[in-house]
């Protein structure tokens, strides 16, 4: 690529903008990430500038595994595999293979955009996996529908997650309330890998009723979700009176919450990562929530967001 062809190219690639009424969203080519989502000028998701790249996986699709994989190793059908270590400080492979890859535009209209990614076999993941994600704005907010298909001739291990940060509207998370539809939390070691799980009752991580977050640092996965009309929710109530909310349907069984303390100072503790996941952290080793896709099989997940 010549220098002239690079002029004006954003680090996150081409930008695909959609709108519906007072809602606007921008999806980036890299990671198929929702770079911004606003309602009436108010951020629902914490955004990052078009002239930079995400410093915290903001809005990205995470496939074929969510969260951390210890030492980047796993065994599937009796064969051992090693994927690259992407988090050297903890010796883990973090958030799959898709977040920094360019996705292909498949469809783009005023209120929705569809992108696809074909994962071709690699030494650590020698499988053919096609994923298509559709972002649609409507009267109920943003809806995200994702379908992954095994287009190869052998079974493959699979999980998926999504990494939006709910915006605190310019405030610190300390001054916000958090509500989370989950009864149990995964305990972790110093690498943030699961060691077990606990009932959240009576702990600092019980958000089943909205409560002020304060200085609590959160980077934890939750399960045993409670649903109303098939949906489980995470809600972030900001001092400006707005509540940014994410829901997932029963295609996802796990939440990851992160207060973003590791982000650059302009972003740290100003957005709450609320990640719908089909599988638990380290699922490629533990099997917790791991899906096995046979050749020709596909799986669809759905989640969404809105401003309340």
Domains detected in the chain: 3-307 (2.70.98.10)
Sign of CA dihedral 275, 83, 52, 119: negative
Structure tokens at 119: 């994962």
Nearest by Cα to 220 from 271, 273, 267, 143: 273
- Decide: helix, strand or coil at residue 173: helix
What is the chain's pLDDT, residue by residue, as a tens digit (308 residues)?
Answer: 444 344 457 889 999 999 999 999 999 999 999 999 999 999 999 998 887 778 899 999 999 999 999 999 999 999 999 999 999 999 999 999 999 999 999 999 999 999 999 999 999 999 999 999 999 999 999 999 999 999 999 999 999 999 999 999 999 999 999 999 999 999 999 999 999 999 999 999 999 999 999 999 999 999 999 999 999 999 999 999 999 999 999 999 999 999 999 999 889 999 999 999 999 999 999 999 999 999 999 999 999 999 99
Structure tokens at 99: 């977040």
Nearest by Cα to 158 from 277, 17, 274: 277
Query: pTM of the full predicted structure?
Result: 0.94
The reply to whether omega before 64 is within 30° of 0 (cis) is yes
Structure tokens at 276: 């719908």
C-alpha distance from residue 5 to each of 2, 10, 28, 48 (Å): 5, 12, 19, 24
C-alpha distance from residue 35 to each of 28, 107, 147, 239, 260 (Å): 6, 18, 20, 23, 16
Structure tokens at 254: 């796990």
E strand or H helix at 284: helix 283-286
Buried b / exposed e along 67-93 (16+ C-beta atoms within 10 A): bbbbbbebebeeeebebebbeeebebb
């Amino acid at each position: 690529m010549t220098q002239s062809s690079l002029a004006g190219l954003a680090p996150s690639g081409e930008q695909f903008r959609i709108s519906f009424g007072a809602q606007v969203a921008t999806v980036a080519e890299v990671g198929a990430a929702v770079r911004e989502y606003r309602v009436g000028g108010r951020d629902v998701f914490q955004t990052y500038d078009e002239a930079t790249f995400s410093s915290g996986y903001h809005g990205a699709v995470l496939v074929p595994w969510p969260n951390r994989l210890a030492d980047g190793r796993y065994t599937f059908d009796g064969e051992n595999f090693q994927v690259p270590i992407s988090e050297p400080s903890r010796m883990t492979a973090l958030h799959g293979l898709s977040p920094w890859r360019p996705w292909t535009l498949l469809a783009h209209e005023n209120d929705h955009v569809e992108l696809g990614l074909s994962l071709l076999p690699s030494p650590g993941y020698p499988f053919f996996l096609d994923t298509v994600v559709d972002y649609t704005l409507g009267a109920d907010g943003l809806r995200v529908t994702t379908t992954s298909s095994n287009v190869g001739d052998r079974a493959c291990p699979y999980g998926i997650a999504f990494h939006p940060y709910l915006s605190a509207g310019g405030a610190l998370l300390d001054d916000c309330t958090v509500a989370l539809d989950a009864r149990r939390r995964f305990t972790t070691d110093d690498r943030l890998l699961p060691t077990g799980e606990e009932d959240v009752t009576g702990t600092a991580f019980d958000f089943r009723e909205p409560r002020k977050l304060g200085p609590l640092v959160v980077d934890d996965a939750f399960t045993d979700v409670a649903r109303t009309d098939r949906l489980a929710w995470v809600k972030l109530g900001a001092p400006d009176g707005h509540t940014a909310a994410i829901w997932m349907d029963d295609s996802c069984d796990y939440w990851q919450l992160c207060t973003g303390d590791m982000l650059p100072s302009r972003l740290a503790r100003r957005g709450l990562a609320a990640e719908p996941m089909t599988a638990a952290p380290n699922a490629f080793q533990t099997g917790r929530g791991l899906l096995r896709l046979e050749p020709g099989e596909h799986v669809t997940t759905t989640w969404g967001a809105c401003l309340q």
